[in-house]
Amino acid sequence: MHDVPASTPAGWRLPGVANLHSHAFQRAMAGLAEVQTDPADSFWTWRETMYRMAGRFDPDSLRAVATQLYVEMLEAGYTTVCEFHYVHHAPNGAPYAPASAMADALIDAARATGIRLTLLPVLYMSGGFDGRPLGERQRRFGHDVDGYLRLFADLHARQDDTLRVGCALHSLRAVPPDAMHAVLAALPGDARMHIHIAEQVPEVDECVALRGARPVAWLLDNASVDARWTLVHATHLDDAEVAGIARSGATVALCPTTEANLGDGLFPLRDYLDAGGAWGIGSDSHISVSPVEELRWLEYGQRLVTRRRNIAVATGTPSVGATLFAGVQASAAASTGFDAHDDAVVLDADAPLLAGATERDVLDRWLFAGNRPLVREVHVAGRQVVADGRHALHEDVARGYANAMLGLLA
């Protein structure tokens, strides 16, 4: 990998950033769930808005929204995205023809924009730990095991230099244990595994009540969790679970802006770093599409809860920015399946925020000094996709997105 960071005639050159968790369709509802619907508004009431928006999508509108999102990601410095994709079928639950139509829309969007895509078709089978059937608004998410494995096999056969296909289990509450074991046994040995876990306290409590263990503890005891696994959120952990994840080699995908927006809670970052755990970031619901904001608020959340400064540092690396950036780079290949060492982001060395920057402080200044976008160029798989801060398709894609939004919000 090229040096981090490196001064070049074009500007400060850094490796690209991997976005480890995305629900592309939720870009269309960013800012639309900020009106109180209940005095006890929470993740669980937010889901009602999400279900309504999910019910409006078809392949064409998903393609338009995902293309806009991926342009925004590239312009922000993300060069790979892990797409946790569960809107599989028509709103009534009937498969499209072909059954992969919604996944195809995401692949089309990634190919058009040039971002690397780790596509994670999601297994979603039940409405809770008690095994209750999916609700009416969840029907388009669902598969049985055989149908899911057929979809996975179709998509996995299409892998190439910029497309990887892994597996996502929506959550322990949505996948019964026997189905989880059947799918894991059927997957190729190199398939990446992602799962939402321990995001909400009620989820933890229900898992304890019905499975006799906390979610992360149950998963570690019932699956061969290793470096191929990414645990999304993992917000509510006890000390044994912190140590267990770190020991397993799995990556935790942290999504600070979404976790804050939903009121999830704060991940025990310092304890996890001390245990040697791997972690990365994701933009999840896309109320922000910025690695700067994810990393900034990962650190700021810890400062607020501890009432101290400069939390995310490592032995020999007192810089918070350098420590955070090293963390996302260290986990990227294991979580995404890509060796993307040639992908690069170039920061604008002429920007006032970087005046006089050096190798020692440029990462801290990028992450913690203001909000002006500083990405000048982005290169993915040998192709320049952003120049002078803008994607080549910026305007055309924005027009297509605007048209799609008019239809979705009609």
Catalytic residue among 104, 284, 343, 348: 284
Cβ pair 333, 345 in contact under 8 A: no
Cβ pair 279, 327 in contact under 8 A: yes
DSSP string spanning 62-115?
HHHHHHHHHHHHHHHTEEEEEEEE---S-TTSPPPSSTTHHHHHHHHHHHHHT-
Which residues make beta-bridge pairs with 7?
12
Determine the Cα–Cα distance for residues 375 and 39; give it in Å rounded to an integer: 40
Exposure class string for 136-173: b at 16+ Cβ within 10 A, else e: eebbbbbbebeebbebbebbbeeeeebbbbbbbbbbbb
Catalytic residue among 85, 233, 236, 391: 233
Cβ pair 113, 132 in contact under 8 A: no
Residue 288, CB-side half-sphere exposure with 13 Å CA sphere: 20
Q: Among candidates 235, 265, 276, which has minimal Cα distance to 253?
A: 235
Cβ pair 166, 192 in contact under 8 A: yes
Cβ pair 284, 264 in contact under 8 A: no
Rounded to 10 deg, the angle between the 320-336 and 291-306 helix axes is 120
Rounded to 10 deg, the angle between the 215-222 and 239-248 helix axes is 40
- Indicate the Cα dihedral angle 108, 112, 118, 121, nearest 10°: -20
Phi, psi of 289 (to 5 degrees): -125, 75
With tokens 């979404």, the residue in question is 258
267: left (phi over 0), alpha (psi -120 to 50) or beta: beta
* 233 a catalytic residue: yes
Considering all CA atoms of the chain, what is the largest pairwise distance in Å, rounded to the nearest integer? 60
* 58 a catalytic residue: no
* Coil, helix or strand at residue 284: strand
Q: Which residues are catalytic?
A: 233, 284
